[in-house]
Amino acid sequence: MNITSRDSLPASRKIPKVSNENLPFVHSYWRYAHQQAPAFFFTVKTTLLTLFLIYIGIPIFVKSNPWIMPRVVFANLLRWPPFINLSSPADFGLLNTRHFYLNVEDNVTVGTWHVLPKSLQDEIEHISWDEYEDQLRNGKKVFLYLHGNSGTRGSHHRVQLYKLLADLDFHVVTLDYRGYGDSTGVPTEEGVVKDAYFVYKWLKQRVGGSNIFLWGHSLGTGVTTKLAKILCDEGDEPAGVVLEAPFNNMQDAATYHPFAFPYRRLPWFEWIFLQSLGDQGIYFKSDESISSVTPHILILHAKDDLVVPFHLGKKLYHKAKATRTEKTKTVEFVPFEANLGYGHKLIYQAPEMADIIRQFIVKSESSD
């Protein structure tokens, strides 16, 4: 048998030699690889576990536990800071503000604030709690503010809006729906609308001839639009409606929410998540309710809103515009450019907001 020496092989078939000078590098490489192996496999396992939880664990949990969807939508247990005293509005910078409770129904009591208009705050150094209700009859306009999900009526951006409205000389009344803040009960779509309806009727009995306007933000726009529809159907329409960062319906709001991004394009997204919303009675079909809302409607939306995308507010506007009749007043859409940085909660910071509100009042109270 012929044995071919290494030196006689063609260059392409020769086995490369490992010189002694390269041995330290080779040893270092294998030592490094051996040291990094545990970290590599840990990363792989963590990634696979995360993907399993996101795409398999969470969907199975949601479908088998549909009760979780109201907790996610209303987020009433999320508040920051966690320990606050809502019975003391002064702690939030709200002077001349009354804190009280209203009993909506058995086992449901809602915490409520009434902020006086600035002119009254300037004129009256001290006013007793009993006189607050009497002041509602003084002819000043009233805003009933309906907040969005999570937090309480004492959340910072909400308090800043109360101050803005009070500085414009309006009464501001706001509440925490059932299950929020210091209110009792558990939130449902029907329940939070019932809370808002009760407070509106409570106000109506006390304002005399003063006009009541509705202002809803985010999830509160769904409450506001549904409340306005009910009131208009009863012939008790509010003087005007402001919808800040609104959505057209809960199905679309859930679809385009940031939390839905990992699932949105998956074939079972609607079956697991959107159907579960319906199973729990959560619809907030503002695009249907708004056709029955007869007073002037003002829609405010920032283009950089990442929670409720701008195009959902635009869709609601187009639906409202298309359903105006000779019996309804106009609908107005005011956009805010993305470079202003107002996002989902900071539209109140717009320098022109005071003028926008004043013009809204004039249009709402006009006979046309």
Question: Distance (Å, rounded) from C-alpha 2 to C-alpha 178?
Answer: 94
Question: Distance (Å, rounded) from C-alpha 335 to C-alpha 310?
Answer: 9
Above 90 in pLDDT, residue 177? yes
Residue predicted with more confidence, 81 or 338: 338
Task: Note the pLDDT of residue 7.
Answer: 55
Tell me the chain's radius of gyration from C-alpha atoms.
30
Please, what is the angle between helix 353-365 and helix 156-167, to 10°? Answer: 60
| % of the chain residues with pLDDT over 70 | 83
Summarize the confidence of residues 94-116 as an average pLDDT: 96
Residue predicted with more confidence, 201 or 57: 201
| Amino acid occupying residue 37 | A
| Amino acid occupying residue 301 | H
The residues that are catalytic are 218, 305, 344
Q: Is 311 exposed, middle or buried (0-12, 13-18, 19+ CB in 10 A)?
A: middle
Q: Domain-by-domain residue ranges, the chain?
A: 22-64, 72-365
72-365: CATH, from 3.40.605.10, 3.60.110.10, 1.20.5.510, 3.40.50.1820: 3.40.50.1820
The residue to which tokens 């998956």 are assigned: 266
Alpha helices for 54-137 (secondary structure H): 58-64, 68-74, 118-123, 129-135
Residue predicted with more confidence, 362 or 11: 362
Our measurement of the distance from residue 15's CA atom to the centroid of its chain's CA atoms, rounded to an integer in Å, reads: 68
Kind of pairing, strands 171-175 and 212-217? unpaired
Q: Collapse the DSSP code of 145 into the 3-class scheme (helix H, G, I; strand E, B; otherwise coil) and give the result.
A: strand
The band of 21, judged by pLDDT with boundaries at 50, 70 and 90, is low
The whole-model pTM stands at: 0.85
Q: Collapse the DSSP code of 144 into the 3-class scheme (helix H, G, I; strand E, B; otherwise coil) and give the result.
A: strand
Q: Number of helices and strands (H, E) in the chain? A: 14, 8
Kind of pairing, strands 296-302 and 142-146? unpaired
Above 80 in pLDDT, residue 315? yes
